[in-house]
Amino acid sequence: MKGIRIISILMLGVIIMAIAACSSKGKEEKDILKGNQTLGVSVHDPSLKYSDGTYYLFGTHMSAAKGESLTAFKSFADGTKPGNPLFKGLFDDLENGAFAFTGKFNDKEWAVWAPDVIYNENLGKWVMYFATSHDYRTSSICMATSDNIEGPYEFQKILVSSGFTRLTAEKTNIYEVLGEDANISAYLEGGEYNNLKYPNCIDPALFHSPEGKLYMAYGSWSGGIFMYEMDETTGLPIYPSKEEAENDKSVDAYFGKRVAGGLHNSCEGPYVYYNEGTGYYYLLVSYGELTNEGGYQIREFRSKEPMGPYTDAKGEELKMVADHSAYGVKMAGNYSFPSLKKGYMAPGHCSVFENEEGKIYICYHQRFEGSGEYHEPRVHEMFITEDGWLTMLPFATTEEEVLLTDIKEGDIAGAYYMVNHGLDISSDMHSAVKTELKKGGNVVSKEASGNWSVQGNSVSITLGDVAYSGIAADMKDEAGNDVRCLSLVGANNETLWLVMYK
């Protein structure tokens, strides 16, 4: 009889342990598969486009790749040199062509950087906007056209240049735009180009309004991010009038309208995406330096108007400030999860693509922990939070992600690994910490405690006095694990990612 009681007690213990395990869904780290996506192509500053069943990536150094899905690409052009099939005759006329003002970068090598490609129906051409550069402030944005999205593209015109002095300004088009007798002293400080106030003319990105108007955002560090309205019939900028510039201090008659940044703070690679559902234009930029240890990262602002004002989750614009790290929703920085063999470093310079089904993808270049400056493009699916912010999933897309709807508490409760991206601009790795979302609404974590709840299609978490709102989605991670991902945006501009390994 005593033996039966002991067996019964042991069985009860096993049952209790099983119930406890079931009440805390999620695998232990030892049971998680490990791996990273490997694309095998390098396209820096990737611009993602789609045409006739094929996805294209266009990037710096005249690099380009293509594929029939968002998970596999093959290079078809690479290297800033004559003979690259992406261009025709780019190096034929150095005195009057794309390099007429900039020459070689640091007088050593040709620089063809960060292109964006659109189809212009009025021209009946594919149009590539790209930059040539001499140094950190001396650059030109150029326009080239082609009958085919894959090229070859032929240079047409320089649209705007930066870094000029009184001696070199005549090599740019500034007098063509402002008039032969224009006084350019406002652009100079101590005889040199004032790059704290005015832009470095690289990183062009084109976008349309719902009404069909065309705009271009551009800029890197220096005086910040600027925009033009463009002439759709020619593909050229509509330069502001002198009257516009006099009446609005953010507008310049040559460079257009400043929408973010300045004082040589790190802010570059702008991309603007308009979402019909929210009615917002989303301005995505990169902070930090693009190297592995440079703290490169993606930040987000939004506006109801194409040329701003663009504000973050705090409702603040990025103006000329001494420290810009607190401005802009930090969508992604350095991070690591248990299933990644290598942590991800320095994500940035992104583009956005929305397919015919309304799925939204972000594409950017990614470096890797312990791998130096090697980089590959990455494509992640994004969703829109209840508060109207874009937020991305932690792992590269398989194109089969499933957004959870009509969420119940039981769908979310369990054991997760959480990354808080914070607001730092640094080389620090944000490693995932074990976090429990308990039934009843408590959050238990080494990093912070708080509470959580669900309503409709939304997940909410409060840590301390900061409220985060976001989405839940199921997907396979890069090692093949089935995961449930939570991606939330905080009122403090921070992003939380939580991953449950199922």
**What CATH number did the domain enclosing 58 receive?**
2.115.10.20
Could you say which of 348, 378, 403 is where a domain stops?
403
Q: Is residue 26 part of a domain?
A: no
Same domain, 409 and 334: no
Whether 338 shows a pLDDT value over 80: the answer reads yes
Rounded CA gap, 493 and 283, in Å?
A: 14
* pTM assigned to the model: 0.94
Q: Is residue 42 part of a domain?
A: no
Q: Is residue 163 part of a domain?
A: yes
Whether 434 shows a pLDDT value over 70: the answer reads yes
Which tens digit of pLDDT belongs to each residue from 352-393? 999 999 999 999 999 999 999 999 999 999 999 999 999 999
Same domain, 111 and 147: yes
Number of domains the chain contains: 2
- The DSSP element (H or E) to which 22 belongs, if any, is helix 2-23
Same domain, 129 and 185: yes
Q: Is residue 15 part of a domain?
A: no
Beta strand 329-332 with 335-336 is: unpaired
C-alpha atoms less than 13 angstroms from C-alpha of 230 in its C-beta half-sphere:
28
Neighbours of 27 (CB within 10 A): 18
What token pair was written down for 435?
A: 């976090």
Same domain, 141 and 163: yes
Considering only CA atoms, give the Rg of the chain: 25
Rounded CA gap, 174 and 159, in Å?
A: 10
Same domain, 411 and 385: no
Which tens digit of pLDDT belongs to each residue from 31-90? 999 999 999 999 999 999 999 999 999 999 999 999 999 999 999 999 999 999 999 999
Marked catalytic residue, from 78, 203, 268, 312:
268
Q: Is residue 11 part of a domain?
A: no
Same domain, 280 and 292: yes
CB 218 within 8 A of CB 204: yes
Strand spans (E) along 414-481: 414-420, 430-431, 433-437, 442-445, 450-455, 458-463, 466-476
Which tens digit of pLDDT belongs to each residue from 242-294? 999 999 999 999 999 999 999 999 999 999 999 999 999 999 999 999 999 99
Structure confidence at residue 448 (pLDDT)? 87
Could you say which of 370, 403, 436 is where a domain stops?
403
What token pair was written down for 289?
A: 């330096």
**What CATH number did the domain enclosing 419 receive?**
2.40.128.10
* 189 among known catalytic residues: no
Same domain, 257 and 156: yes
CB 366 within 8 A of CB 36: no
Q: Is residue 18 part of a domain?
A: no
Residue 451: domain span? 404-501
Q: How confident is the model at residue 447 (pLDDT cuts 50, 70, 90)?
A: confident
N-terminal to C-terminal alpha carbon distance within the chain = 41
Q: What is the mean pLDDT of residues 199-210?
A: 98
Same domain, 339 and 201: yes
Could you say which of 378, 403, 428 is where a domain stops?
403
Same domain, 310 and 434: no
Structure confidence at residue 490 (pLDDT)? 98
* 268 among known catalytic residues: yes
Whether 8 shows a pLDDT value over 80: the answer reads no
Structure confidence at residue 24 (pLDDT)? 58
Which residues are within 8 A (CB) of 95 and not within 5 positions of it... i.e. 6 or more apart? none
Q: Is residue 59 part of a domain?
A: yes
Which tens digit of pLDDT belongs to each residue from 175-203? 999 999 999 999 999 999 999 999 999 99
Q: What is the DSSP letter of 319?
A: -
Q: Is residue 22 part of a domain?
A: no
Same domain, 326 and 336: yes
Same domain, 105 and 211: yes
Q: What is the mean pLDDT of residues 222-251?
A: 97
Whether 9 shows a pLDDT value over 60: the answer reads no
Average pLDDT, the chain: 95
Whether the link from the prior residue into 152 is cis, omega within 30° of 0, is: yes
Same domain, 142 and 193: yes
Read off φ and ψ for residue 125, nearest 5 degrees.
Answer: -135, 155
Structure confidence at residue 16 (pLDDT)? 34
